[in-house]
Structure 1
Amino acid sequence: MDIRQLQYLVALDELRHFGEAANRCHVTQPALSMRLRQLEDELGLTLVRRGHRFVGFTEEGERILAWARAVLAAHDGLHAEASVCRGQLVGTLRVGMVPLAGFEPIPLLQAFAAEHADVRFDLKSLSSEQILAGLDTNRLDVGFAYADGRHERKYQLFEVAETTMGLLFNRHRWRFGRPALDWMDLESLPLGILSKGMHFRQSVDHALQSAGVALKPLVETDSVEFLVQSVSAGLCCAVMPLGSGLEHRDEALELLPIADSHTLAPLCLATRRGDPVSALAEAFQQFVRERVSPDQG
């Protein structure tokens, strides 16, 4: 068994396709398949369910995958730790980010990259639940997610912003004539909203219910991009975070604050409490703590 076999296994899990996994790993598909069969022979287990194409992993394969990710995280952490001992940071920081928040993490990544030229970033747009699960399974090193005291047993949390909400709309179709709205103003509007399961959607639903406003959304989507396009076209309005900058994507867009609106939990930088925690994750967490005040959100 060697580290490359584990990398092939994890790549296959992430891409769910033999050819694409082979391309990522810079080997031919037959070579990747052969090395995975050698791993199965060594372990005495069938890990991959095969047909004419990739089908999935066996139950045993899923259990081995969890160990493979842990070993790879430890392997990467070892190299990162060695680079720290040499006075430099090297490696890839795997970052999960919620798609809607009143805080923009990219400038932080840009500043971190300016100080550490050998650091690369693997960015994923995920729900808060997916981000926390990614930390649990070593798929992510850090995450910007909505989290609160309920999560502190498992994760180190640093609040970066409290997210408040506004109504994003096309000013050529709607005009409100005042600087702020309340939830009752939304009752007569066609509303676009993220799909259920996202924390931001849960916060909007909770606020509407608390205000006694019952809405049947015109548009539901799991894509922020589709939602903004729908608003730009005048198809609907949408509740969006203040400070997200979404209103600057189109000169026709405007974002008005909604009174008494905030997400159920603040946006936090989250990392694992238990080992392994990479040197990169620790360095980035310290970097954020030194540069971000939650009051700015």
Structure 2
Amino acid sequence: MISKLEMFLALAKTRHFGRAAESLGITQPTLSTGIRQLEAQLGVKLVERGARFGGLTPEGQRALEWARKIVGDTRRLREEMRARHAGLAGHVRLAVIPTALTWAARLTARFAKTHPNVSFTILSRSSVEILGMIENLDADLGITYLDNEPLGRVTARPIYHEHYALVCHKDHPFAQHDRVRWADVAAQRLALLTPDMQNRRIINRYFMEAGTVPKALIESNSTIVLARQVLEGDFVTVLPEDLAGFLVQGQDLRMVPIEGSGAGPSVGLIALHQEPYTPVVQALVRTAQGLGAGNRK
């Protein structure tokens, strides 16, 4: 039944028989047969069918919740048995907000020193996408904001607080300042993250508290694009200090702290709230806690 539940999850995610089959590496007739067999086993209709996928039935929506739990539990069981037999090994899918990618690299590098047989896929995603990926079992863990928007059914481990800085060209008038104000930044030619990014919403709130509204002339979901835009023209951007410090290294760029940034929003590791975690996830959570403790010293 597990393989059929995997098919059902893929179909519910893609909402398309062909794409679901392709994602699983099987043919569409095999997928359709598997779904029908699952329906026969459960004694209910799960999927509305016509010329194409027509959505899940009410029973299908309920079965989707069970499928996620059963498949998730099965994967954790396999991982734990493998760890007991061969030690910590396997693959972790980590979804990360763009502004926390330097911290993701720091976390996985520290983890790899003691657990070299664990590999990672690190994906840059928005905070909303990260929650969806974890719920749909497309990511094992996430690094995202913890205290600004609802997280849902996850367990969170804080790692650090964001502090914000202006990034400008070395020839920009602000490059010689010790710090700048949010109101001064708002008057500049701004390149910022897109509005769908939680970081942008946080930045907008800081501007509003300073009594101003920013007008971004360049928007991107990539911090690399923002840094390059600053390097190529007379634009400035606002980024968390850790990421800003990394991006300005070896470039004709300067990082200037922004007054009033204080102890910003908390960022940390999240995982679906299900026990027990696999040994790999447990070890990664412990590493994240150690990284956070070191950052708070």
TM category (shorter chain) comes to: 0.7 to 0.9
Kindly report which structure 2 residues correspond to 1:117-196, keeping only aligned pairs within 5 A, or say none. Answer: 117-132=116-131, 134-135=133-134, 138-148=137-147, 155-171=154-170, 174-176=172-174, 177-196=176-195
Cα distance in 1 for residues equivalent to 2:264 and 2:24: 41
Residues 60-86 of structure 1: CA distance to partner in whole angstroms, max 9, x if unpaired? 333322221211110111112212333
Letter in 1 for 2:6: Q
TM-score under structure 1 length normalisation:
0.81
What is the aligned partner in structure 2 of residue 283 from structure 1?
A: 283
1:259 alignment partner, SS class: coil
Residues 191-247 of structure 1: CA distance to partner in whole angstroms, max 9, x if unpaired? 222233533122212211222222232233444454445434427322111111562
Indicate the percent of aligned positions where both proteins have the same amino acid: 29
Cα distance in 1 for residues equivalent to 2:263 and 2:11: 36
Cα distance in 2 for residues equivalent to 1:171 and 1:149: 33
Cα distance in 1 for residues equivalent to 2:225 and 2:44: 44
Kindly report which structure 2 residues correspond to 1:36-185, keeping only aligned pairs within 5 A, or say none. Answer: 36-50=35-49, 53-54=52-53, 56-86=55-85, 88-101=87-100, 103-132=102-131, 134-135=133-134, 138-148=137-147, 155-171=154-170, 174-176=172-174, 177-185=176-184
Cα distance in 1 for residues equivalent to 2:152 and 2:34: 39
CA RMSD of aligned residues (A): 3.4
CA contact (8 A) 1:96 1:123 kept: yes
Cα distance in 2 for residues equivalent to 1:54 and 1:231: 46
Letter in 2 for 1:289: Q
CA contact (8 A) 1:162 1:262 kept: no
How far off its partner does 1:264 sit? 4.3
Letter in 2 for 1:27: I
CA contact (8 A) 1:5 1:39 kept: yes
1:258 aligns with 2:269: no
CA contact (8 A) 1:7 1:72 kept: yes
CA contact (8 A) 1:144 1:269 kept: yes
Work out the number of aligned pairs and report it. 295
CA contact (8 A) 1:189 1:237 kept: yes
2:173 alignment partner, SS class: coil
Distance 1:85 1:164, change over 3 A: same
CA contact (8 A) 1:146 1:266 kept: yes
2:5 alignment partner, SS class: helix
How far off its partner does 1:188 sit? 2.0
CA contact (8 A) 2:163 2:262 kept: yes
Which sections of structure 1, spanning at least 5 residues, go unmatched?
A: none
Distance 1:31 1:138, change over 3 A: closer
Distance 1:9 1:152, change over 3 A: closer
1:104 alignment partner, SS class: helix
Query: Mean Cα displacement is larger for which, 111-120 or 182-191?
Result: 111-120
Residues 128-150 of structure 1: CA distance to partner in whole angstroms, max 9, x if unpaired? 34434554565543221211499
CA contact (8 A) 1:73 1:138 kept: yes
How far off its partner does 1:169 sit? 3.0
TM-score under structure 2 length normalisation:
0.81
Cα distance in 1 for residues equivalent to 2:102 and 2:249: 16
